[in-house]
C-alpha cells in the first residue's frame, strides 16, 4: 500500500499537518480480558467436572462413588496480522513536515486497534454461536448452558444445606434484552451471583466490571455511583454502591445498547504469540521505503462463567 495524496505535504504554505495530533488510549480492554502468552500455533485448554457435594451415608452402607469428567479440550488458533506501507523515495525527500517519518507510529496504532477489536469481538459476538463457542457448544452468553447431567439430576439433599439440583441448565444472559437501569443491573448482579459450577453448586464470584458502549456511560455512572437510588423520587439508599463496580467504556462495542457484567474471575483470554514487530527496508531498485509490520495472537474462551450479558433493546 502506497501513501496516497501526499502532494499537499510539499506545499510551502502549509502551516500544520496532523497525523496523530490527539491524545487517546487505544487499548482499554486489555484491562478487562485476561492477557497471556503462548509459543504454539494454537492454544488448547480444558476443564474438569468434579463429583459435586458430599452426600449423607447411612450407617453400615457403602458410600456413593461418582466419576470425575474431563471435558473435551477447546482449541483456538493463533492469527497473524500484517500491515505494509510503501513510501516513495521522492516523497520522503520532499516532505517538509516530517510526516512520512512518523508512519511507524501510525502503523503501530493500526495494530493496537486490531488487537482491541479482537478483544471487543468476544463481546460483540457474545450472543452468537456463529462467532465462537465455549466447551459446551454455546455462545458466551446464553440462557441454556448445560450442567453435567449426572450431577444436575441428583436426589435432593433434604437433610443438608445443599440445594436440590432439579435443573439441567444455567443462564448468563438476560434472554430478552432490556435497557440498562437500576433494576436491570440489580437483576444482572443477582444472576451473576447465582452462577453455578459444572456440577450445579453455587460459586462465590463477585461482579467487578460493568462494560458499556459510550452511549450508556452516563447511565452507568448515574446508577452505580449515586448514594441514592436514581429510579425513585423517594429517599432510598442505593444498593449498588456496595459493589464498587468499575465502569469500562469502549467504542469498539458495536451495539450501542448492549452491556456486560464481569466477575472477579472469568475465562476471556488473549494469548500473544508474537508482539507487534515493525521493520523498515529499502525497496530494491527504487530506494522507496517499505514499512512492514506483523503480530500474532489468539483470543477465545473455554468456560463462559464469570460473564453476564444483556443485549439491550
Q: What is the CA radius of gyration of the chain?
A: 26
Comparing 159 with 259, the larger pLDDT belongs to: 259
What residue has cell string 508512519?
103
Predicted local confidence at residue 198, as pLDDT: 82
**Mean residue pLDDT across the chain:** 84
Predicted local confidence at residue 230, as pLDDT: 67
What residues have CB less than 8 Å from 242, skipping those under 6 apart? Answer: none
pLDDT band per the 50, 70, 90 thresholds, residue 99: confident
Alpha carbon separation from 125 to 61, 174, 176, 178, 256 (Å, rounded)? 51, 15, 16, 18, 14
- How would you label 88-119 residue by residue, b for 16+ Cβ within 10 Å and e otherwise? beebbeebeeebbeebeeebbebbbeebbebb
Q: Which residues pair with 290 in a beta bridge?
A: 86, 281
Predicted local confidence at residue 214, as pLDDT: 97
Report the C-alpha gap between 145 and 134 in whole angstroms.
Answer: 10
Domains of the chain: 29-52+67-310 (3.30.2400.10)
Q: Across residues 215-223, what is the average pLDDT?
A: 95
pLDDT band per the 50, 70, 90 thresholds, residue 7: very low
Decide if 118 contacts 299 (C-beta within 8 A).
yes
Alpha carbon separation from 260 to 124, 223, 313 (Å, rounded)? 11, 15, 14
pLDDT tens digit sequence for 24-40: 677 899 999 999 999 99
Q: Across residues 259-285, what is the average pLDDT?
A: 93
Predicted local confidence at residue 19, as pLDDT: 43
Lowest model confidence (mean pLDDT) among 48-62, 82-96, 125-139? 48-62
For residue 236, pLDDT over 70 is answered with: no
Task: State pTM to two decimals.
Answer: 0.83
DSSP letters for 17-56: --SS-S------GGGTSEEEE-SSSEEEE--EE---S---
Amino acid at each position: 500500500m502506497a501513501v496516497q495524496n501526499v502532494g499537499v505535504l510539499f506545499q510551502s504554505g502549509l502551516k500544520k499537518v496532523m497525523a496523530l495530533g490527539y491524545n487517546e488510549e487505544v487499548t482499554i480492554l486489555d484491562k478487562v480480558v485476561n492477557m497471556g502468552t503462548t509459543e504454539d500455533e494454537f492454544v488448547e485448554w480444558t476443564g474438569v467436572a468434579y463429583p459435586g457435594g458430599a452426600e449423607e451415608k447411612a450407617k453400615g452402607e457403602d458410600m456413593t462413588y461418582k466419576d470425575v469428567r474431563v471435558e473435551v479440550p477447546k482449541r483456538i488458533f493463533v492469527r497473524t496480522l500484517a500491515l505494509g506501507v510503501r513510501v516513495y523515495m521522492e516523497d520522503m525527500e520532499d516532505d517538509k513536515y516530517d510526516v512520512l517519518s512518523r508512519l511507524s507510529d501510525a502503523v503501530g496504532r493500526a495494530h493496537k486497534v486490531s488487537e482491541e477489536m479482537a478483544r471487543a469481538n468476544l463481546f460483540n459476538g457474545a450472543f452468537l454461536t456463529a462467532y465462537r463457542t465455549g466447551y459446551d457448544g454455546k455462545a458466551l452468553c446464553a440462557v441454556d448452558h448445560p450442567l453435567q447431567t449426572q450431577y444436575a439430576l441428583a436426589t435432593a439433599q433434604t437433610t443438608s444445606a445443599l440445594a436440590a439440583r432439579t435443573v439441567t441448565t444455567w443462564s448468563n444472559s438476560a434472554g430478552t434484552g432490556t435497557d440498562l437501569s437500576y433494576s436491570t443491573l440489580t437483576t444482572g448482579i443477582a444472576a451473576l451471583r447465582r452462577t453455578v459450577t459444572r456440577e450445579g453448586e453455587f460459586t462465590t464470584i463477585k461482579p467487578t466490571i460493568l462494560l458499556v458502549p459510550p452511549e450508556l456511560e452516563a447511565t452507568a455512572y448515574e446508577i452505580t455511583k449515586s448514594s441514592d437510588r436514581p429510579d425513585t423520587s423517594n429517599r432510598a439508599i442505593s444498593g449498588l454502591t456496595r459493589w464498587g463496580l468499575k465502569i469500562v467504556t469502549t467504542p469498539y462495542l458495536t451495539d450501542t445498547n448492549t452491556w456486560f457484567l464481569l466477575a472477579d474471575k472469568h475465562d476471556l483470554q488473549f494469548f500473544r504469540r508474537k508482539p507487534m514487530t515493525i521493520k523498515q527496508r529499502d525497496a530494491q531498485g527504487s530506494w522507496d521505503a517499505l514499512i512492514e509490520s506483523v503480530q500474532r495472537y489468539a483470543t477465545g474462551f473455554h468456560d463462559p462463567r464469570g460473564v453476564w450479558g444483556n443485549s439491550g433493546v
